Structure 1
Amino acid sequence: MSGPLSQLKVLDLSRILAGPWASQVLADFGAEVIKVERPQRGDDTRHWGPPYLRDEQGADTADAAYYLSANRGKKSITIDITSEGGQALVRELAAECDILLENYKVGGLQKYGLDYASIRTLNPRLVYCSITGFGQTGPYAGRAGYDAMIQGMGGLMSITGVPEGEPGAGPQKVGVAVADLMTGMYAVSSILAAIVHRDKTGQGQHIDLALLDTQVAWLANQAQNYLVAGQTPQRQGTAHPNIVPYQAVPSSDGYFMLAVGNDEQFKRFCSIAGLDQLAENPAYATNAARVLARERLIPLIEEATRGRPSAWWLEELSAAQVPCGPINDLEQVFADPQVRARGMVIEQKHPAAGKVRTVRNPAVFSESPLEYELGPPLLGEHTDEVLRELLHKDDDTIASLRAKGVV
């Protein structure tokens, strides 16, 4: 393996999205990630389709697109952790790894002797990261937590969607599982911080990450608006609570995003839109004034933007350094010349399909470039390899484990 984390080994006991997203990022960065899955069935997301990856003859494979999105770069092994033999194998693997990632319910691994207190005696340097819906403590600790319910409980749905009183108003879930994804990203940064601590002190530690905590934490300016002003933020559609104009606006043939970030940009926008009188009016000249005058100002802007097509606005405003952009569907996203120039789609070999396309990690390292050597693995594809090379099991032992249903 290559990449900045090529010296690290990760034992991944997680499934679905938050944990696998974290371990995929670690794999992208070069870590060797060993994904432990249930024999026969594997990660639930392998079955969350259609669509499924198709083989070279055009038939569906066993793996859904959902699974492919979060499991690139890993080695899949199958272990029945409910069996004593499987638990012994996991403990052996944990003793050889730097990081263990799991998202079982609180206390779920304790009965197998695979909880942090048990594992740390085998490997005091291990960084053990637990991801749950609500954390290891508190009145909800024992509850299951899933992304959609966390978006609701954590406040995100209260500030996402059409404003109250308008057609289509009501709480809206974000189009991807952002609570899971952000928890995965916090897991990566927390794990790497713990690795730095370990390298200084020689001691590993337990990381307790909760989806609800993460959702509350990344409410960002909306949370701070509430804490400072004591007023509960409301849904504003595409508009921004602290910046105006910063939202989707209509054109003669659709919509585009207008993202004016300061007063100078507002002046340049007004010049192009034929609205110089607005830029000179003290009621609109500053962002603070525009936020207060939002309900009067936005209709005036929309009246102007409706007069020309989106392409005209995007060309003229971009040339004047006024931030703006199209509202693309995914076909348009992947056809965009900037996305293509940045090589955001990568192609990897796949044993069942021949090849598979995935979206690359957005990080670009100048001295340790990322190499995407492994595609999303088949279920149990690397079981023999890992047992043989990492745990030094011989063929007879592996055959015996398989005969007993341990792997």
Structure 2
Amino acid sequence: MAYIDNILFVLLLVAGFGFFAKNVKKLVRNIKLGRAEDRSDNPSARWNNMAMIALGQSKMVRRPVAGILHIIVYVGFVLINIELLEIIADGVFGTHRLFAFMGGFYNFLIASFELLALGVIVAVVIFWLRRNVIKLWRFAHGDLKGWPKNDANYILYFETVLMFLFLTMNAADHYLQGVGFGHYHAAGSFPVSGFISPLFNGIAPETVEIIERVCWWLHITGILIFMNYLYYSKHLHILLAFPNTYYAKLEPKGKFENLDSVTAEVKLMMDPNADPFAAAPATEGDVPAKFGASDVQDLSWVQLMNAYTCTECGRCTSSCPANLTGKKLSPRAIMMKTRDRVEEVGKNIDANNGTFVDDGKSLLNDYITPEELWACTTCNGCVEACPVNIDPLSIIMDMRRYLVMEQSAAPTELNGMMSNIENNGAPWQYSQMDRLNWKEEL
């Protein structure tokens, strides 16, 4: 009977981490639905990106208020969860504050955790006010409603409850240490919960111990639940921000990728010695099955990881000139819709024993409309604004490429321009013989 708590704790850990591993496996499978893309070049620059942007939060602080508050929550939540190591050890071995042998350093750690916990609570309250009372434009935008809007609030409530459980657990522990109850030996420094512990004066130590144990169990259970909730939440970026910034594009933002097959044809056309009626020499793998992208399987795995990493912060949309002038395009919505479609395809695969069965839907038209795609000015404002280096423009351009090269479905003005270039060698409708007439005016 003495080991029932330990057994239950181990079962809780196995269930929590087992479900988490299952979700990670599904996440990796869904990201791999995308086509292959090599992002292994220049590893030193990639490690630097990850260190500065994901770990150092360098792009977050471009908006100082949100950036500093986010750093407090991020650092606080990560460091406080270091105490999980002790909680897990105590739960498995039936000990209490196992790491207290570190003495003064342990006291410093617990004090730091408590101050950070208080900082997290303050930051979360400000975040909630910005979303729900002040209603900042990017949080009240039309593309952030329903589940995405509620999810953000759920996370704020979750973090607040976890921090209060942590502080209440410590306050009860501090009180029991003070009265010398049971195995609660003096350990730790409690600059925040020390102000809470007097509330237990006059309460039987046995009752305070129950409060401490309940908070302890709820705290670890809550963290395991939060860990598994990440897959269904925008806060998946807590995990994916690191690989996403590592594999982000390193080339200048204005540089677009050309298809090898198209490049080969253009070079053939420009070769004065080439037979104008000859086809471009084919090389293995240079001709894609489809030009551009109409569904998530046509996008690269990097683009799908981008979609899962999206924090839904709206910085991209608030920087988008097309959106600001009333156009339908929202870069945030592009990423959210891509993620929704990947999830739908993943569920289709799960329901059909690992095989995708055509569901008559696609990312293009069913999720993202041509109107959204053609509203983009390709200014890269969204890419520059994203705090975790997501690239919505690459998805927009791949889907535009499909519309143009597979469906000839470009806007009338663009089709006219391309026809003029093909026939006249210029965007304007006049004879090639007249192209140099402008020089006569010099």
TM-score (norm 2): 0.23
Higher helix fraction (1 or 2):
2
Higher strand fraction (1 or 2):
1
TM-score (norm 1): 0.24
- Choose 1 or 2 for highest CA Rg: 2
